[in-house]
Copies of this chain bind each other. A is one copy, B any other.
């Protein structure tokens, strides 16, 4: 074990390595130091460093970098963080940084801005880059068109292996920034007719024509293909990229495995936040308090209404509650425990939906599976809590009321929790957003009702 003093010193030294050092660089306006600082930062550390700087310091830091370095930095930050930063820059400066980015990154980041902000930036961009961005921006960002890159290598089918190799050698510098895994073969109408892997070129005799060796009629996707379909495709096909064609079979871009997986990760992050009631976009703590508070409250204010509706059941049984005040102790336990049991079912259904193991129409299969589990767990938990109630007040009827209510409510929560995500998904709603609140409102109401109505029925034996 280190001595405490030493540990603290080490921690301080480490912190010094991070953003405090950067603050000194910014204060000294040292451009050279800023560049080498960025270069030596451990991977993943840049996001954290930027989050710690104030808005003004961030601007001063970016001013020290050239546009290309600034573009690399923006690309490596989480999209929401980069978008937030770019929205605070003057459009002329932002446009210079955008000009240095890859086409798919440009579109992703513009997607983080308001319509107005992104239009102002595009107007200031290099005209050729701007046209390409406008072309890509017409696509839904969660579709093949929105995910694809337009930097690709295509050759006509009448060319030979040697033509390709010569062209590659001559333009080695330009293509160096391309992520080339496949070469696409098109006909005179720019329609996709074949595909070649780089290694096929290496292993083939130089004089062969591309149409003699290409994989003809290659798999391709329409520009409108959804992210989920792309994920399923890459899950079951060991490819690095997939050509994207428009309705006329013309080659318009390439969607790469890494971009699909990255988009899937971003989506999973948003799903997770929505599940916990963060809506209307991601939240980072560097966002202004007004926006953060409003976004969280928009969800909490719905939730408080649902809670009041559920608790009004208790208000209807005030007299019963007054006679057996011990019930008030168990009401929150029954409602919370049923919520937990139901949430487990929601999680398993959501996960199975994502894995593709179930579809909404499999609801009866799911219901049958949960019925048995709800019975077993309901009885187990009912005996446990009923036993506690009995031992506490020495009244077996109190145990019966509490245990019976929890058992029945658990059974209901487990089945409902399993089915709600399927129903929402069947109606094309987002299961992550709505499943939790719907479930807990129902289980709260039902739990309060079961405890209090059982108590009313057995009132003579409880008092």
Specify how many copies of this chain sit in the oligomer. Answer: 2
With A293-B373, A344-B278 known as contacts, the answer to whether A333 contacts B357 (CB < 8 A) is no
Tell yes or no: A359 within 8 A of B by CB: yes
| A340→B307 CA distance, assembly (Å) | 11
Cβ contact of A276, chosen from B52, B284, B346, cutoff 8 A: B346
Assign chain A's interface to a size class: 35 or more
Q: Contacts of A373 on B, CB cut-off 8 Å?
A: 289, 292-293, 296
- What sequence of 0s and 1s flags, for each residue 329-342 of chain A, a beta carbon within 8 Å of any chain B beta carbon? 11111011100110
* Docked-complex contact A440 and B336, CB < 8 angstroms: yes
| A229→B337 CA distance, assembly (Å) | 38
Tell yes or no: A314 within 8 A of B by CB: yes
Tell yes or no: A88 within 8 A of B by CB: no
* Docked-complex contact B168 and A372, CB < 8 angstroms: no
Q: Contacts of A15 on B, CB cut-off 8 Å?
A: 361
Within 8 A of B (CB), among A208-240: 229, 232-233, 235-238, 240
* Docked-complex contact A202 and B326, CB < 8 angstroms: no
Cβ contact of A376, chosen from B293, B308, B329, cutoff 8 A: B293
Within 8 A of B (CB), among A124-157: none
Q: Contacts of A269 on B, CB cut-off 8 Å?
A: 351, 354-355
* Docked-complex contact A277 and B354, CB < 8 angstroms: no
| A140→B345 CA distance, assembly (Å) | 30
Stretch from A26-34, A61-69, A260-268 contacting the other chain: A260-268
| A334→B410 CA distance, assembly (Å) | 22
Tell yes or no: A438 within 8 A of B by CB: no
Within 8 A of B (CB), among A261-307: 261-262, 264-265, 268-269, 272-273, 275-278, 282-286, 289, 292-293, 296-297, 299-301, 303-304, 307
* Docked-complex contact B357 and A47, CB < 8 angstroms: yes
Q: Contacts of A358 on B, CB cut-off 8 Å?
A: 48, 51, 285
* Docked-complex contact B329 and A172, CB < 8 angstroms: no
Tell yes or no: A179 within 8 A of B by CB: yes
CB distance from A35 to the nearest CB of B (A): 16
* Docked-complex contact A335 and B332, CB < 8 angstroms: yes
**Could you show 24 A-B contacts with beta carbons less than 8 Å apart?**
A43-B237, A48-B359, A81-B355, A169-B203, A261-B262, A265-B268, A268-B268, A269-B355, A272-B347, A273-B347, A278-B344, A296-B373, A297-B381, A299-B340, A300-B377, A303-B340, A307-B337, A311-B333, A314-B329, A315-B326, A321-B325, A321-B328, A322-B322, A332-B448
